[in-house]
Structure 1
Amino acid sequence: MEITRNNFLDQLDNITRNIKRSCFIGFDAEFSALLSGEKYKYRLFDTNEDRYNLLKNKASEMIMTQVGLTIYQYERDLDTYVANGYTFHLCPQVFGNIDQSFIFQASTLKFLCKHKFNFNKFLYEGIPYLSKVEENRIQQQIKDKTLFANLIQDLEMTDEKIIQNYCSDVSKWLIKSEEDTMYLDVENPVLRYIIHNEIRLRFPEVLTTDSLGNSNKVLVYRNKDIQGANSAPMAILEDNLLRHILGFSQIISLLKTERKPLIGHNMFLDTVLLHNQFIGPLPQKYSTFKKNIHDVLPIIFDTKYISHVMKNNLSFDEMWKSNSLQDLYEFFSEGKCKKLEHGVNLIRLSTPFDVKQSYHEAGWDSYCSGYCFIRLGHWAACENSGAYRPLGPRQQLAALAPHCNKINVIRGAIAYMNLAGPDPPSHRPDFLYVKSLKERVINVGKVASVLTGIGSVDVKPYGRRTALVATASNYTVEKILKHFNDSREYQITKFTVYRHSPLSQVVFWGGALITGGLVLLLVHKKNTVHREVRAY
């Protein structure tokens, strides 16, 4: 189901009930920009902190334009998962002095057009949101009783005219009409809040409240003597306003409260954008970022990382094409996993997606992530027990618990980001040390070009005539060392800090000079003594 500004509040109660009843939730997001170009190339040298520092400045300019959530509920009697899929269209908002901004890259626009992205829904029907930092700022204004004044101060001229027209209508009604009540149709929730306040200030004798059954209408009573007349407490008006401007952020708060497992695929960038968009500006420290994400979303599974680990249990002929979400989903949904031919749960969508136009659509991809998680969990649980049989979500979650909060890292020095604790040590081989035997200044591009034909590598300069090489596997290391064993162009050895770091070189030569100086001093003293003895 598509959720926009027009139906979000109407569907919020249903979505809330579904989340509370769920066993886990599939997640996916589409972004306003893609990380492309040499600057954002992922390298085998990167630690997770390096990767975070690389992304955080660019990510602060990006937003999630779509968020997909597929809410999985388990029907025990039928041994069936029922999936309720939602695609939320999001759009930044202006509220008082909060003016959210983002960038759209031309390459991203081209990509989105290719996949039939609906820009009208994004711009005209996108659901607003606030980060926790922005929400706290507004809550403080409410506490200080400065919200109304701040909103008035930042009004555009067109909105000022609209408010003036409404107040003129109320003035004419009070003078010329004998009706006890009047209605003002105000669709914009921010203007509605302002109009409540403005009418109460200008016409102290009247009372205002939101009309029952139609939240767009402001009901105005002539005075308190009219039967049923009441004035909505300011706290209620403020709560109604917050519900509208918080928008999708209410879903994030619900996920935090309910602590439901969130299932995504390749979620490193997703977590960075989740922080920037719904928690607050990205912190300088990588450790602070991890802690903040873990506090809001305490249980996350990344099916890309899980599939990387579990593929080692398959032979080459049994394996999926790649670890992309589409290939992984089709491997399981088309029954290609021979280990899962019997006893697996039925997975049923409550409302079918349009499969032909679905990939790279957030709702569909969130369904695929959850689907793969169920199959991977079933496979892992059966492997643990030694028998392939029907299993429920509790056993599947338990089997995948060792992979909880481990977020896949693409082409980095470390296999995953651990949101719940310290990151693991590097799983890559030690660096290789390259010294040019012919060039006075080493050509790193040339070295990379030569080595890429042997295996997956990254190269970076280390000195005028030297470079470091990061490799993906020990197999590649051995091939490179063997290939360049007798090379007259490059000398390649395994890197050691003691032999190859600039500091150790300084220490080595400094020590050599000191040692040499001491030897010369001793020789000089010895010769002096000999001369004195002969003279005597």
Structure 2
Amino acid sequence: MEVTKYNFPSVLENLRKEIPTCKFISLDIELSGLRTRDDCSNSLFDSVEERYNKHRKGTQGIIATQIGLSIFHFDRDLNTYASATYTFHLCPQFIGSINQTCTFEASVLTFLEKHNFDFNKFAYEGIPYLNKYEEISLTHILKNGMIENFLRYEDVERFWEIKNKVVTWMTSASDKDTLRIKENSILQLYIIDKLKSSFPILTFTTENSEIIIGKNLNINSNSQPATKHTSFNDDVLNYALGFSHVVKLLEDNKKPLVFHNAFGDIAMFYNQFIAPLPASYKSFKREVHKLFPEIYDSKYIILKLKHLIKKDSVFDNSSLQNVYTFFNEKKGKYVCMYSPRIKMKDDFDTKPWFHQAGWDSYCTGFCFIKICHWLGSDNSGSNRPLTTNEHFNAVKIHRNNVYLSRASQPHLCLNENDPANHRPPYLYMRLLKNQILDLPEIASMLSRYGSVDVRKYGKTSVLIAVTGTFTCRKIFEEFKHSKDYDVSVFNPIKHSPILRVTLWSGFFLSSISTMALIFYQLKKL
């Protein structure tokens, strides 16, 4: 289901019923960019902490434009998981002193356009949101009656124009007549609040971007409205929170959350809806785990399934589209018996496609269920329908482990210490001839042997980081007899220019001292 600010209130009521009773929730996020700083590119040299700091600094201004949410319930009798899937369209807002910003990368705009992203829906119908600090700030503004101070002059002029229009309409309107006024967002709430005070005999409803005004036939001009309306402050805060209401539901219910390639999505989710990312990586892990104690990364689990996947049935790579196709259309569809049926409760409003957040969230949940059943059947050693508890027990050792792409460590752990570095040691390459060190040329030359990163290390040498021993072995074999380059395993003591200078200096000083002592002893004779 496509969710905009117009149907969000009714969807929110459904979520308040669906989330407390579900088995798990899968999420996907579509972003306005990937990074805003060139010096924050991923590298095989990155430690987990370095990667986190790169992400924190390099994604400032980037926001989630779509959130996909799929809520899965399980019917044991039918061995069926049913998903309620939503695509939430989000848009930053300006209200009071809160002026949210966002950055779009041109390359991402091209990507979004290619995948049918609806820019009009983003701009005109996007759901607002606030993080915790923005919520506190807006609450303070509303409590102290300062919201009118932030209205623009043209907004105030617009209100008086509408009020005069209502007065004119009332003089000639019949009891069944209605007046429709087109207005949007917070100004719509402000106008309704002011008109209610001035005209208690009128009724006010909204339909998308229109205010619908009618006559209240149940009261006369001397009476008060029959029902007590919520206050303007409550209405404004409730509207401005928008998608943050959904985030609060996720926090309160602590349901298992499933992502595919989770690190960036988790960090973005926290930064946009909770608070700015903490300066400390350890604080980030602690806060995320406190809010969402059970997170699964289907990409991480897939990469741990290699021992179960036969060579003739393996998917090309672990991208979501490839994994979903493997389990839904190829040999993975029949990988084990009694795999649960997975269906959507409602069809998509439009034909689904990859990189649409709602569809991707459904595919993430679909793949997660298939993985759980595959591992559960392998663990039990029998072919039979499994319960949800058995499905989750099969992947509990992978809980809160998050895949890291192109880093010195393959994953991070949200609730424990991170694993040790399992990558091969760095390689040290030295130019043997009097050449100019050309880093891009060396990187291009080495890329034919596998995934590598190079870093300058002195005037005539580089460090090489590789993903696996196969690439490492190929580089050694290729350059074993090279007359231009010398390649060896990096030794910090042996290859450090500073340490070499220090050691030679020490040796030189020690030699001078020894010679001086000998000379002194000989002179005494």
- Considering the TM-score relative to the shorter chain, is it more than 0.5? yes
- Name the CA shift for 1:105/1:225 in 2 (closer, same or farther; >3 Å): closer
Q: How far has the Cα of 1:32 moved from its partner?
A: 1.3
Aligned partner of residue 500 in structure 2, secondary structure: helix
Deviations 1:200-219 (A, max 9, x none): 9xx8xx79699587695789
Q: How far has the Cα of 1:451 moved from its partner?
A: 2.2
- Name the CA shift for 1:236/1:156 in 2 (closer, same or farther; >3 Å): closer
Q: Which runs of 5+ in 1 are unaligned?
A: 531-536
- Name the CA shift for 1:345/1:442 in 2 (closer, same or farther; >3 Å): same
The residue aligned with 1:406 is 401
> More deviation in 315-324 or 339-348?
339-348
Whichever residue aligns with residue 309 of structure 1, its letter is K
Deviations 1:359-384 (A, max 9, x none): 11111110000000001011111222
Residues of 2 paired with 1:226 and 1:169: CA distance?
A: 22
The residue aligned with 1:43 is 43
Alpha-carbon RMSD: 3.2
Within the alignment, does 1:140 sit opposite 2:140 as a pair?
yes
Whichever residue aligns with residue 47 of structure 1, its letter is S
The residue aligned with 1:289 is 284
Residues of 2 paired with 1:363 and 1:187: CA distance?
A: 29
Whichever residue aligns with residue 68 of structure 1, its letter is G
The residue aligned with 1:112 is 112
The residue aligned with 2:157 is 161
> Given the two structures, how large is their TM-score scaled by the length of structure 2?
0.89
Residues of 1 paired with 2:83 and 2:153: CA distance?
A: 47
- Name the CA shift for 1:355/1:520 in 2 (closer, same or farther; >3 Å): farther
Q: How far has the Cα of 1:446 moved from its partner?
A: 3.0
Aligned partner of residue 304 in structure 2, secondary structure: helix
Q: How far has the Cα of 1:275 moved from its partner?
A: 2.1
Residues of 2 paired with 1:391 and 1:357: CA distance?
A: 29
CA contact (8 A) 1:300 1:404 kept: yes
Residues of 1 paired with 2:244 and 2:388: CA distance?
A: 28
Aligned partner of residue 306 in structure 2, secondary structure: helix
CA contact (8 A) 1:209 1:230 kept: no
Residues of 2 paired with 1:93 and 1:207: CA distance?
A: 30
Residues of 1 paired with 2:51 and 2:240: CA distance?
A: 33
Aligned partner of residue 45 in structure 1, secondary structure: coil
- Name the CA shift for 1:101/1:129 in 2 (closer, same or farther; >3 Å): same
Whichever residue aligns with residue 32 of structure 2, its letter is S
CA contact (8 A) 2:40 2:57 kept: no
Q: How far has the Cα of 1:172 moved from its partner?
A: 8.8
Residues of 1 paired with 2:373 and 2:57: CA distance?
A: 39
> More deviation in 447-456 or 118-127?
447-456
Aligned partner of residue 343 in structure 1, secondary structure: coil
Residues of 1 paired with 2:398 and 2:203: CA distance?
A: 51
Is the radius of gyration larger for structure 1 or structure 2?
Answer: 1
Residues of 1 paired with 2:26 and 2:221: CA distance?
A: 54
The residue aligned with 1:62 is 62
- Name the CA shift for 1:271/1:446 in 2 (closer, same or farther; >3 Å): same
The residue aligned with 2:77 is 77
The residue aligned with 2:521 is 526
Q: 1:249 aligns with which of 244, 258, 271?
A: 244
Whichever residue aligns with residue 306 of structure 2, its letter is K
Within the alignment, does 1:422 sit opposite 2:432 as a pair?
no
Residues of 2 paired with 1:339 and 1:367: CA distance?
A: 20
Q: How far has the Cα of 1:97 moved from its partner?
A: 1.3
Residues of 1 paired with 2:109 and 2:523: CA distance?
A: 84
Q: How far has the Cα of 1:308 moved from its partner?
A: 0.8
Residues of 2 paired with 1:170 and 1:338: CA distance?
A: 62
Deviations 1:460-511 (A, max 9, x none): 1010011101111122222322332232211111111221224432431232
Deviations 1:266-313 (A, max 9, x none): 122212221221122233222223333333332211111110111233
Give percent identity, aligned residues only. Answer: 35
CA contact (8 A) 1:209 1:231 kept: no
Q: Following superposition of structure 1 onto structure 2, how do residues 136-535 of structure 1 map, counting pairs within 5 Å?
A: 136-142=136-142, 145-146=143-144, 148-149=145-146, 151-165=147-161, 188=184, 190-191=186-187, 193-195=189-191, 226-227=222-223, 229=225, 232=228, 236-337=231-332, 340-353=335-348, 357-439=352-434, 441-530=436-525
